[in-house]
Amino acid sequence: MLQFWFATPGTPEATYAQRRNVWFQKRDETDRVIRDRFLFLHQQAVAGALARWEAEPSSCLALILLFDQFPRNLFRGTPQAFASDAQALQVATRALDRQFDQFSSTDPTPGTTAVRSQN
């Protein structure tokens, strides 16, 4: 999931110019891919079945994306696109409390510092 969102570090696809097409532009193809690949995970997250993902920085970031960013694509134009924002904020706050926003030499996950943007 993180590789889909951030792409492989060092590749042309991982540049901001390329990722912003995924992150900020309304594209039916992006919405379809996210729906096909990640709707089930979003549903599990909302139901509380992925709470264990909060244990590690990388999976915690993935959980925040499932609550905050992916719903924008999954439910575009509906109130449901924002329905899990409070859950995203709660997870991000706990991640900050555990200092998951710090870079780690053992966890070079691209975008780990994106947790900061939730604060």
The predicted-structure confidence for 37-80, as pLDDT tens digits, reads as follows: 999 999 999 999 999 999 999 999 999 999 999 999 999 999 99
| E strand or H helix at 59 | helix 57-68
Q: Are 118 and 89 in contact, with CB atoms under 8 Å apart?
A: yes
Paired with 104 in beta bridges are: 107
Give the whole-number percent of the chain exceeding pLDDT 70. 86
Beta-carbon contacts of 28 under 8 Å, excluding residues fewer than 6 positions away, are: none
Record the tokens describing residue 109, joined without a space. 């996950």
Summarised one tens digit per residue, pLDDT across range 34-49 is 999 999 999 999 999 9
pTM here is 0.82
The reported pLDDT for the residue numbered 106 is 45
